[in-house]
Structures are given as structure tokens and as C-alpha cells.
Amino acid sequence: MTRRIVGRAIRDVVGITIGCIIYALSFVLFVIPRDLAPGGISGLAIVLNHFFSVIPIGKTIIILNAPLFLLSLKRLGKGFLWRSIYATVASSLLIDLLIPYTRNFSVDMLLSAIYGGVVMGIGIGIIFRFFGSTGGTDLLAQLLSERIGLSFGTTLLIIDTCIIALSGVAFHSVTIPLYSIVSLYISSKAIDLVQEGLSFSKAAWVVSSRPDSVASRIMTDLDRGVTKFTAAGGFTGERKEVVFCVVPQSQITHLKQIVHEIDPDAFVAIMDVTETLGLGFKELGTR
């Protein structure tokens, strides 16, 4: 058991470190050269560095995050807290370390916003996947939302909007905040993609008068498990069995064909599944 815990801890540290490297590269290659400030403490650090260039951006991020971690000690579990502190410090120091080697790297503003958002989102997503975080405005929003009576999402949006607007004032530009918003949006989608994965599976709900036949064919022809439960129609009150199953995207056409052959009058609802864990799919506990 101890060996497993140590192995998992080592794996988490390695994963978070990889995420920190990618996260730092997004800043030194795309964000910082174009003065983008895509919200968060890191965006605020870029703005402050414009006024007080004596303190490097990475160290500014650490200084700004320190009180937030202290105020959140009781909220965060020990494991998550130490992973987050490590991720914040490592990524911040890497930014300062890599900046001298990337000074001559510069691309178009739009490309910087797009690729900066993608690479940043991938880095943060990997850090999240290994149960860490980069601190920042997420912690600040948690602390403020209870005091001001707004939801966490609304509070976070207000904070990030203020930081992005501040970047426009600092750099005397309307363009920079607009591109920063693009970068922030793309990074949020990239985080979701890394966290949830691509939708390669489909969930099907089949309401049929012949549920046993439908379930049997799915298990036999598609080699997929099914779940059956009884439901009642809201209008008629008629009780019918519903067959639920999750299949790879490549099998969804075959599934529809099976249902049509057995019960052409069946009702079928198909939806995307962002991640499927368990027998026949990805092993539970993998990342």
C-alpha cells in the first residue's frame, strides 16, 4: 500500500511538472511577448510588471498567490494544497528561467492569442488532471463570492474582466484586451478538452415495447453491456422499459439499425459522452 501511494505521488509530481513546463512555454512564447493578459493572477502579474519591471513576472505571480494560499488553508485538502503550491512555484520560476532564451521569439498577435490559449489550456489541464492547480483568481473568487453574495462563476468572470480591462489601460490599447479575451476563451476550451477528452463514445436511451430483444441484440452483436429500468410516460402514464447503453462512436450506426429492425416505433435518444470509464472502455483510475 505504501509503495502504491509513493508511486502515485511520484506520478502526480511528474505529471504536474510536465504541465508546468507547457504552461510556462505558453507565456514565454506567446503571451508575454505580445503583452497579452488573459485574466488570472498571471495576467495581473504581466500588467504589474509593465509598471514595476524590477520584479520578474514569475516571482510576481508567486507573491500574489502567497496570501491567497494562506487564506485558503482551511478550504483546501493537504494533498491538493501542496500540489497547487508546487505547481504555482514551479511554473512561475520556469517562466522567469525561460524568458531570456525566448526574447527573440515573436509571432502575429492573433496567432499568439490562439496558440497561447491552446498551449496554456493544455498545460493547466494536465496540472488539473494530476490533482493540482495554479492557484490564482479561482481561489480569490472562492473567498470573495461568499462575502459579496455572488456565485463563484460570476465572481470569477468579474475578476478576470477587470484584469483584462486593466491591461488595456496599462498598455494604452483596445486590441490587447480583445485578443486577451480570445486567448482566455480558447484556453478554457483546451482545459476542458484535456480534462474530459474527445467525445469518442455515445450514450443511447432506447424506449421500446420490446426491450428484452433490443438489449439481447446489443449485448450479442455489439458486445456491449446494457442497463434496463422502468419509466412512465408523462402524457400517457404508460409504463415502459428503457434500455441504456454506451457504445463507441463507430458502433452507433449499427445500434440504430438493430433498434429499427426490432422495433421501428422505438424512441431513441443519443448524446455525446465526454469520458467513459469501466469495463469495455478506459480503465477506471487512469488519467
pTM: 0.78
Contact in structure between 83 and 15 (CB atoms under 8 Å): no
d(CA 123, CA 42): 14
Predicted confidence (pLDDT) per residue in 240-284, tens digit: 889 999 988 878 888 999 999 999 989 999 988 876 666 555 665
User: What pLDDT, in 10s, does the model give residues 155-203?
Assistant: 888 999 999 999 999 999 999 999 999 999 999 889 888 876 665 688 9
φ, ψ dihedrals at 247, nearest 5°: -130, 155
136 sits in the region (left: phi over 0; alpha: psi -120 to 50; else beta) called left
Q: How many CA atoms are closer than 13 Å to the CA of 124, on its beta-carbon side?
A: 24
Domain range list for the chain: 2-196, 201-273
Confidence of residue 49 (pLDDT cuts 50, 70, 90): very high
Candidate CATH numbers 3.40.50.2020, 3.30.70.120, 3.30.70.890, 3.30.470.20; the one for domain 201-273 = 3.30.70.120
Contact criterion met (CB below 8 Å) for 30 and 42 = no
Residue 193 CA, distance from chain mean position:
6
Which pLDDT does position 44 carry in this prediction? 94
Please, which pLDDT band fits residue 286 given cuts at 50, 70 and 90?
A: low
Strand partners, 240: 231
